[in-house]
Amino acid sequence: MNQYLRNLGRIEFVVTLACTGRCKHCSEGDHRSGGAHIDGGAAAEAVRKICGEYQIKSLMTFGGEPLLYPEDVFKIHRAASEAGIPKRQIITNGFFSSDQKRIAEVAEKLAESGANAVLLSVDAFHQETIPIGPVKAFAEEVLSRGVNIRTQPAWLVSKEDGNAYNLKTREILANFSEIGIFPASGNVIFPEGNALKYLGEYFEKGEYVNPYREDPTDVRTVSIAPDGGLFGENIYTGDILATLREYSPEKFTE
Ligand code: SF4
């Protein structure tokens, strides 16, 4: 086994960078529609192969907005479920359609695919550009199918800070708690991308160390890009197991 991947236990898929939101705190900067999105069939195959060699404990799909490409998301979660990965998460802003029938259909198929933890990105920032009605409708459809769903807010400065954004976020979370969907711990906004551009005044000057950064010499998570890219190789054109076998820290990319 590659010593740098000795503790590999998690697979992530950035399904797409396209998004229905335009959040001012987004670490990815501007999201334009179009661009690459993950191929669910190839991604599912990669999941099966990785699980044949590594003890994978969790898998996540996210974006951008992953449910812009629901069929690909379902294929990935189905493969994860069949491969015995215990924790199968999706992070979504919950807004991919305003049509109630379509919302119910996607919730149904998501539940069937085996995704067992839905983290719903709702807060003051998301709801500046994302209407809460369809998000709540989706959340209720997911909940009614017995899938674990929690709100996943982004906090500004800290969870405890009393700035106007956090106050608004608490109001939004209360709205979901009323229907039985309670908050997960969420995350504190890190100063990069749009966050730095639009919310710079809330961050102190100086160096920030990204708390979510991997140690390139002890990689615990592989994160596959919308175009299939991983460590300078590609899951569509190469053998993922060879990519993992030949990984070395200088190939590490965020
Ligand atoms: S919903 Fe998420 S990915 Fe989309 S713009 Fe907002 S923070 Fe970025």
Q: Is 19 in the pocket of ligand 1 (CB under 6 A)?
A: yes
What pLDDT score was predicted for residue 34?
63
**Which pair of structure tokens corresponds to residue 115?**
């995704």
**Average pLDDT of the residues in 218-247:** 96
Three-class DSSP category at 11 = strand
- pLDDT, one tens digit per residue, over 27-68 is 665 665 568 999 999 999 999 999 999 999 999 999 999 999
Our answer on whether the CB atom of 17 is closer than 6 Å to any ligand 1 atom is no
Measured in Å, residue 40 CA sits from the centre of ligand 1 at 21
Answer for the pair 126, 93: CB distance below 8 angstroms, yes or no. yes
- Range 85-106 average pLDDT: 98
- pLDDT mean across residues, the chain: 94
Question: Ligand 1 test: best mutation among 93, 120, 127, 196, most atoms within 8 Å of CB?
Answer: 93
What's the pLDDT score for residue 192? 80
What is the residue extent of each domain of the chain? Answer: 3-251
What's residue 229's pLDDT? 96
Residue whose Cα lies nearest atom 7 of ligand 1: it is: 26
CATH tag, 3-251 = 3.20.20.70
Neighbours of 205 (CB within 10 A): 5
Cβ of 94 closer than 6 Å to ligand 1, yes or no, is no
| pLDDT for residue 31 | 63
Q: Whose CA is nearest to atom 2 of ligand 1?
A: 64
pLDDT at 158 over 70: yes
Q: How far apart are CA 209 and CA 3, in angstroms?
A: 25
252 against 182, higher pLDDT: 182
Whether residue 18 has pLDDT greater than 90 = yes
If one residue of 33, 126, 196 were mutated to test the ligand 1 pocket, choosing by the most ligand atoms within 8 A of its CB, it would be: 126
Mean pLDDT is lowest, of 6-20, 153-167, 188-202, 216-230, for: 188-202
- Cα(173)–Cα(182) distance, rounded to whole angstroms? 7
- With a cut of 80, say whether residue 10 has pLDDT above it: yes
Let me know: does 203 contact 191? Beta carbons within 8 Å: yes
- Cα(19) to ligand 1 centroid in Å equals 6
pLDDT computed for residue 41 by the predictor = 98
